[in-house]
Amino acid sequence: MSFLSRYALYFAWIVSIIATGGSLYMSEALSWIPCDLCWYQRIFMYPLVVLLGIATFRDDREVGKYVFSLAGMGILISSYHILVQQVPSIGGMLKCKVGIPCSQDYLNWFDGFITIPVLAFVGFFLILLFTWFSRKEAE
């Protein structure tokens, strides 16, 4: 457990880098157009790369104050996005007016179990978990 606590900030930073790199790869290399909810998830994920990078190199275990708010909002948006994709009645309540609909997903692994919002949710959750473990090391 001490290994995880000691390197938890590194793990959180790596997760944020992979999530950011993956979203940029999907939009820039694969030319997948992000929906509105994907953009909001990006807004909360991208700053985490910088915050966690600085905190990792400075060994600042108090960065959780900032990370929890960003990742928490990201989890809420990802959860809503998952509902929009998986429950058709929720997806029909707020229709997108511009761009692709939020109910559409380019990625559909394991019969829709793994989608882009699910990957974002897992990324935000892991960042929260690792940041929490890093604060336990500081205590």
| Per-residue model confidence as pLDDT tens digits over 8-62 | 899 999 999 999 999 999 889 988 888 888 889 999 999 999 999 999 999 888 8
pLDDT for the residue numbered 32:
83
What residues have CB less than 8 Å from 39, skipping those under 6 apart?
A: none
Instruction: Give the SS3 label for residue 135.
Output: helix
pTM assigned to the model: 0.87
Residue type, 57: F
